[in-house]
Amino acid sequence: MNTASPDRIPDNLPDHIQHYIDGAFVDSVDGDTFDVVDPVTSQAYIKAAAGKKADIEAAAAAANAAFHDGPWPKMLPRERSRILHRIADIVESRGDAVAKTESYDSGLPITQALGQAHRSAENFRFFADLIVAQVDDVFKVPGRQINYVNRKPIGVAGLITPWNTPFMQESWKLGPALATGNTVILKPAEFTPLSAGLWPGIFEEAGLPKGVFNLVNGLGEDAGDALVKHPDVPLISFTGESGTGRLIFGNAAPFLKGLSMELGGKSPAIVFADADLETAIDATIFGVFSLNGERCTAGSRILVQRSIYDEFVERYAAQAKRVRVGFPDDPATEVGALVHPEHFAKVMSYIEIGKTESRLVAGGGRPAAFPEGNFVEPTVFADVPRTARIFQEEIFGPVVAITPFEDEAEALELANDTRYGLAAYLWTNDLKRAHNFAQAIDSGMVWLNSNNVRDLRTPFGGVKASGLGHEGGYRSVDFYTHQQAIHITLGAVHNPTFGK
C-alpha cells in the first residue's frame, strides 16, 4: 500500500481558516465552522469559518465603504496597474508555495498546480496591461456633435468560484474586477477554501487598500445565497454547475444584477479519418485526464470516424491504462485524487452506470494501489450510444465516452446532441471542413487541431446550459464597468420648440 509523504502538507498551515473582512481575519459572527477534507485521506484536517448572512453583511459594508469613500475606484488606471503587477510578481515569486497549497487543497497533481499558479500571475499581469491600454469609443459629427463613452466601475462584485483549480479561477475573476476599480467579495468553494486564504497576504503586500478585497467562506446555500441576494452587491460572477447557475439566476433576478455565469460542459472532441492520429490521441488523453478530469472544458465525449474507430479505441485504451495515478505531491503523477468523497462517490456511480450502457475498455474502478482516498482509474468507455447518461451528463472526472460516426452530418448531430455548449475540439487536415464544421458546432469555443490553449484576449463562455455571458479580454472590462454615453453639442442646438 502506498503512503502519502508528510512533506505534502503546506508550510504555515493555519490552525483554522477564517474570513477576511475589511483588512482583518475574522471568525464567523455566530462562530460556526465546517470541516475541510483532505482529498488523499478523505479525512477532515482543518475547520473553516462558515459564513452566513451576517458575515456577508459585514463584507458588503466594508466593500461598499471602500468603493464609495476609498481611493481604489478613483485611482488612475496606471496606479491600479502598478498594484496588479505587484500582485502578479508576488504570486510568481511564491509559485511553489501556492502550488503546494493548491495541490493539498484540491488533490491536483503538483506539476499541474504549478502551471495553474503561473497562470494566476499571468491573469493579473494581463489585466494590469489591459486597463492602461484601454481605449473607448468616440463618435464625431463634424461641427455638430461629439459622443464619447465614459467607463465607470460599478461597485461591489460578488465572485463565486469553483473547487477545480480554485486559486487560478479566483485570479481569473479578481484580476478584471479589481483592474476596473471595483471592490470585491470572494466566496470560494467550500471543498477548497485553503488556497483562497493566500490572497489577503498577497494583496496587503502589494498595497491594495483595506476593504477592497473581502473573503467569506461558507456553504453555497448560506454564504453564496446571501451574497447573491444582497441588495448592495450589483454584480455576480459565478463559475460552477449548471443547476446552481439556474438557482443563482432566479435569486438575482429581483435585484436586476449583472450576471456572468460559466457553467457545466460535456464537450465533444471530433476526430476525422484524415487527422494526425497520434497527435489526436495524445491531445484527447490530456484533454480529459488532466486536472483529474475535473475541468469544465474537458473533451469528455470523443467522436471518431468509423474507418479509424477500432484502431483509435485500441490505442486510446492502451495509453489511458498507462496514465499514472499517484499522490498529488509526486511530480510523476498525472492523475491525482478527486477533490472530495462526495464527488468521488458521484464519479464512481457514473462509472457503474457506464458499465451497463456501453463497453468498458480501460479503468473502471479504484486503483489497487490506493485503497483509501478519492483515487479513480482513468476510465474509458467505447461504443457509447447518444442516449447513454455518460454521453449526455457531466461527470467531471477522469471518465471518457467514445462514439463512432460515419460522416460529417452524423458527427455534427452527435456533437450538438447535449444540453451543453461550452467547448469543442476538432481534428482534421481538411481546412474547408475544419472551418465550416467548427462554425456549425453549438459551443462557445472551438479548438481546431489544438488542445485547450487559450489566448487571454479571447472571449470565454458557452451557450445553452453552459453559461450566460462571456468574460476574457475586453469582455471582462465590459462586464465590470458601466458604459456611460456622453453627448456634446458643438454647433447650433438642434432643439425643436414646443409651446411657442
Residue 109 confidence class, pLDDT cut points 50, 70, 90: very high
| Interval 65-70 mean pLDDT | 98
Q: Model confidence over 140-176: pLDDT tens digits?
A: 999 999 999 999 999 999 999 999 999 999 999 999 9
Residue 113: its pLDDT value, please? Answer: 97
Q: What pLDDT digit, counting tens, does each position of 145-154 carry? A: 999 999 999 9
- Residue 226 near residue 50 (C-beta atoms within 8 A): no
**Burial of 138 from C-beta contacts in 10 A (0-12 / 13-18 / 19+):** exposed
Q: Could you tell me the end-to-end alpha-carbon distance of the chain, in angstroms, rounded to an integer? A: 95
Angle, to 10 degrees, between the axis of helix 306-322 and the axis of helix 277-289?
A: 50
Q: What does the pLDDT read at residue 1?
A: 44
The pLDDT of residue 401: 98
Q: How far is CA 152 from the centre of its chain?
A: 26
Q: Which residues contact 427 (CB under 8 A, 6 or more apart)?
A: 269, 270, 271, 272, 275, 276, 279, 280, 283, 449
Q: How many alpha carbons fall within 13 Å on the CB side of residue 158?
A: 30
Q: How far is CA 385 from CA 193, 277, 356, 390, 414, in A?
A: 38, 23, 12, 9, 10
Residue pair 232/64 in contact by the 8 Å Cβ criterion: yes
Half-sphere exposure of 260 (CA within 13 A, CB side): 25
- Determine the Cα–Cα distance for residues 378 and 401; give it in Å rounded to an integer: 12
Q: What percent of the chain has pLDDT over 70?
A: 99
Rg (CA), the chain: 24
Question: Which burial class, exposed, middle or buried, applies to 478 when counting CB atoms under 10 A from its CB (0-12, 13-18, 19+)?
Answer: middle
Report the SS3 class of residue 288: helix
- What's the mean pLDDT in 10-25? 95
pLDDT for residue 3 is more than 70: no
- pLDDT confidence tier of residue 7, bands split at 50, 70 and 90: confident
Predicted confidence (pLDDT) at residue 367 exceeds the cutoff of 60: yes
Checking phi first, is residue 291 left (phi over 0); if not, alpha (psi -120 to 50) or beta? left
**What single-letter amino acid sits at 477?**
V
**For position 5, what pLDDT does the model report?**
67
Please report, for the chain, how many H helices and E strands are present, in that order.
Answer: 15, 20
Mean pLDDT confidence for 353-377: 97
pLDDT value of residue 305: 98
Residue 457: how many other CB atoms lie within 10 Å: 11
Handedness of CA 465, 36, 106, 157 (dihedral sign): positive
Over residues 205-253, the pLDDT tens digits come to 999 999 999 999 999 999 999 999 999 999 999 999 999 999 999 999 9
Give residue-wise pLDDT tens across range 280-301.
Answer: 999 999 999 999 999 999 999 9
Say if residue 53's pLDDT is above 90.
yes
- Please tell me the predicted confidence (pLDDT) of residue 500: 82
Question: What is the tens place of the pLDDT at every residue in 26-43?
Answer: 999 999 999 999 999 999
pLDDT of amino acid 395: 98
3-state secondary structure (DSSP) of residue 354: helix
Q: Which helix (H) or strand (E) holds 244?
A: helix 242-252
- Cα–Cα nearest to 394, from 291, 261, 299: 299
304: its cell numbers? 471518431
DSSP-assigned letters across all residues of 84-153: HHHHHHHHHHTHHHHHHHHHHHH---HHHHHHHHHHHHHHHHHHHHHHHH----EEEETTTEEEEEEEEE
Q: Cα(33)–Cα(323) distance, rounded to whole angstroms?
A: 38
**Are 424 and 446 spatial neighbours (Cβ–Cβ below 8 Å)?**
yes
Residues 6+ apart with CB under 8 A from 278: none
The predicted pLDDT at position 4 comes to 63
HSE value, Cβ hemisphere, 13 Å, CA-based, for 163:
28
Using the predicted structure, report yes or no on whether residue 79 has a pLDDT greater than 50. Answer: yes
DSSP SS3 for 17: strand
| Residue-level pLDDT at 147 | 96
- Judged against a pLDDT cut of 80, whether residue 269 lies above it is answered with yes
Confidence of residue 494 (pLDDT cuts 50, 70, 90): confident
Q: Which residues are catalytic?
A: 262, 296
Tens digit of each residue's pLDDT (9 = 90 or more) over 117-139: 999 999 999 999 999 999 899 99
| pLDDT range class, residue 496, cuts 50, 70, 90 | confident
Instruction: Give dist(CA 50, CA 57) in Å, integer.
Output: 14
Angle separating helix axes 110-133 and 166-179, nearest 10 degrees:
10
What is the DSSP code (8-state) at residue 239? E
pLDDT at 12: 86
**Residue range 100-105: average pLDDT?**
96
pLDDT for residue 477 is more than 60:
yes
